[in-house]
């Protein structure tokens, strides 16, 4: 690992940094997906916490399950729009 070549960063810390980076990348990807569908990316972290790397799949293929676990009328209204868009495709 390249990070371990930096003084003070051992293998354990390098793995931790890598995992944190991967999580942030996933949350960013979820946020971009939501934004493409006019949903606030503010939900991205919560979706990642609930569904991990399957969050986009859950919103796309199992939106009613996602809606049952999330509060907020605005989120529900926007998810209904996503459902309608995907059903047209």
Exposure of 55 by Cβ count < 10 A (0-12 exposed, 13-18 middle, 19+ buried)?
A: buried
Return the structure tokens found at 23.
């999580």
**pLDDT of 20:** 94
**pLDDT of 45:** 85
**pLDDT of 40:** 77
> Are the C-beta atoms of residues 58 and 65 closer than 8 Å to each other?
yes
The pLDDT tens digits along the chain (89 residues) read 588 888 889 999 999 999 999 999 999 999 998 888 777 788 888 888 889 989 888 888 887 778 777 766 466 666 666 666 665 55
Rg of the chain taking only CA atoms, in angstroms: 17
**pLDDT of 19:** 92
């Amino acid at each position: 690992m390249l990070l371990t070549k930096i003084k003070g960063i051992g293998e354990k810390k390098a793995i931790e940094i890598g995992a944190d980076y991967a999580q942030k990348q996933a949350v960013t990807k979820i946020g971009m997906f939501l934004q493409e569908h006019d949903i606030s990316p503010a939900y991205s972290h919560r979706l990642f916490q609930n569904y991990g790397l399957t969050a986009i799949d859950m919103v796309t293929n199992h939106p009613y399950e996602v809606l049952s676990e999330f509060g907020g009328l605005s989120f529900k209204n926007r998810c209904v729009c996503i459902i309608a868009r995907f059903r047209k495709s």
